[in-house]
Amino acid sequence: MIEAQQLSRIGDAVLGEFGEVASIVANVMEPIAGIEHFARVVFGARGEALIIGAHDGALAALASRMFDKSPIDLRETDWVDSLGELCNMLAGKLLIANNSNISVGIPSYFTAKEQPEIWQKITIEAEAWKLFGGSPIYFAVVARESSCSPVSRK
């Protein structure tokens, strides 16, 4: 079981490799409010997953630092790749911290407009908000996904 505090610490460590990060307190009842870009990676047979959501500003800052490019030189694919890479890095660190040997899947990218129903199908085990590049990033560990249950928190 992953706790919010553990997710927050690991998020700090991973994001800290690319620049200054700060924890923020946010209303987690509406995790997609103002966040457009998401990546999800499945790491368990029962639907466990990590979801990362980033505001445009945070994603631009992350991609710029990750690829060592000026924000003006970035393409949309750089944004998608950086969010997927962050998802892989964080999922890997979470699994190591929990002594798990489960393999990590390939991250998938989606926008809030493409999959608004996802928040109606998940149970969130742990979540954290960070501030990176002056904009928010949201982390959630999903305990399971189902086809009919609304979002709930453990």
- Could you tell me the CATH number of the domain that includes residue 81? 3.40.1550.10
User: What total of structural domains would you count in the chain?
Assistant: 1
Domain of 62, in residue numbers: 4-26+35-153
Cα–Cα dist 6/25, whole Å = 15
* 53-67: pLDDT as tens digits: 888 888 888 899 888
Cα–Cα dist 72/12, whole Å = 26
Token pair, residue 74, equals 């970035």
Comparing 11-15, 21-25, 98-102, the range with the smallest average pLDDT is 21-25
* In contact, 52 and 126? CB cutoff 8 Å: no
Cα–Cα dist 112/57, whole Å = 16
* 78-104: pLDDT as tens digits: 988 999 999 988 888 888 887 777 778
The pTM (predicted TM-score) of the whole model is 0.81
